[in-house]
Structure 1
């Protein structure tokens, strides 16, 4: 099975009272994070934005029992060659 993706949620408030969820993911350099998705519309509270972002994070996981995984080679597969 591939590794879990390192994805987190934060809420941004660029203007007072306008809250947006943002999903970001670490790169191979653990100190570097990139935004991968954000809410298209503002929410009126931090809580609403965070909860909506959590729903989007769940959508990244094909199977919520194992979470969002890095696409690629299956580490449990038999070696080839």
Structure 2
């Protein structure tokens, strides 16, 4: 299984009353973050944008028990010998 991806969600307000969720992922250097995904349309309320961002983050985790993972070894695969 690959490592857990470090993805953060935050809300941006480029214009008053226009709230956009943004997903950022940690880059190769822990001090560098890159935008992974963001809302296409604004929300009227900060909380609505935040909830939509969390749902988008959940979409990056195909299995809710283990969260979003980097591609890696499949722990269920047979060992190669």
Using structure 1 for the length normalisation, give the TM-score: 0.90
Q: Which residue of 2 aligns with 1:48?
A: 48
Which segments of 5 or more consecutive residues in structure 2 lack a partner in the other structure?
Answer: none
Report the more deviating stretch, 15-24 or 64-73. 64-73
Q: Which residue of 1 aligns with 2:31?
A: 31
CA shift at 1:2, angstroms? 1.1
Which segments of 5 or more consecutive residues in structure 1 lack a partner in the other structure?
Answer: none
Report the more deviating stretch, 44-53 or 69-78. 69-78
The Cα offsets for residues 12-43 of structure 1, whole Å up to 9 and x where unpaired, read as: 00000000000000011000000010000000
- Between the two proteins, the alignment pairs up a number of residues equal to 81
Q: Which residue of 1 aligns with 2:16?
A: 16
Runs of 4+ more than 4 Å apart: 74-81
* RMSD (CA atoms): 1.7
